[in-house]
């Protein structure tokens, strides 16, 4: 049986291994500058997002008390998405704060049995309760499974950035 739990920010380390696996997974999929992922890790991606965001939501899925998947969503000021790394979207097209499904990973043996859908829905429910208008998901090149998953859930392709390295999906 799978159990779902919201975890506190202090307990984010519970998803450290899965987060690092996610970076490796995305690196294995992309044909565009895979080396970009070499500097991406739990420290540089997860903890830094957690700090920059105004509000965070982390939910894990557990099987036999072991974490087998997680979703991480946040609410941040839009300036967070205008950095040296990239400008993720037209700053004039959004309100001051934006919501994001930032990270999402299910261990391979547990995919395809509905855990992702449940975590996705929980993340969206949290975002929707914040009454934030602009929602984003960023998918790296080559991860067509995830791209199609989000499209089936109602997100739309908006544009690509960094020469196609990232596809930006929006709720409009």
Give residues in contact with ligand COA (CB under 6 A).
Answer: 22, 25, 104-106, 111-117, 139, 143, 145-146, 149, 152
Contact between residue 126 and residue 119 where contact means Cβ atoms under 8 Å apart: no
Nearest distance, CB of residue 149 and ligand COA, angstroms: 5
The rounded distance, in Å, linking the Cα atoms of 122 and 157 is 22
The rounded distance, in Å, linking the Cα atoms of 62 and 67 is 4
Specify the residue, 96 or 150, whose C-beta has the smaller distance to ligand COA. Answer: 150
Q: What is the largest CA-CA distance in the chain?
A: 46
Nearest distance, CB of residue 31 and ligand COA, angstroms: 16
Nearest distance, CB of residue 92 and ligand COA, angstroms: 26
Specify the residue, 82 or 145, whose C-beta has the smaller distance to ligand COA. Answer: 145
């Amino acid at each position: 049986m799978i159990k779902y739990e919201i975890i506190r920010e202090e307990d984010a380390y519970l998803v450290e291994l899965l987060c690092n696996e996610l970076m490796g997974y995305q690196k294995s999929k992309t044909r565009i500058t895979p080396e970009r992922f070499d500097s991406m890790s739990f420290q540089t991606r997860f903890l830094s997002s957690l700090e920059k965001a105004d509000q965070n939501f982390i939910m894990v899925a557990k099987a036999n008390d072991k974490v087998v998947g997680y979703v991480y969503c946040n609410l941040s000021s839009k300036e967070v998405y205008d950095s040296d790394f990239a400008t993720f979207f037209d700053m004039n097209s959004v309100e001051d704060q934006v919501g994001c499904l930032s990270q999402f990973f299910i261990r391979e043996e547990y995919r395809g049995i509905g855990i992702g859908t449940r975590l996705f829905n929980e993340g969206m429910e949290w975002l929707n309760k914040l009454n934030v208008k602009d929602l984003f998901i960023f998918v790296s090149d080559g991860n067509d499974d995830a791209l199609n998953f989000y499209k089936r859930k109602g997100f739309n392709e908006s544009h690509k950035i960094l020469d196609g390295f990232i596809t930006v999906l929006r709720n409009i």
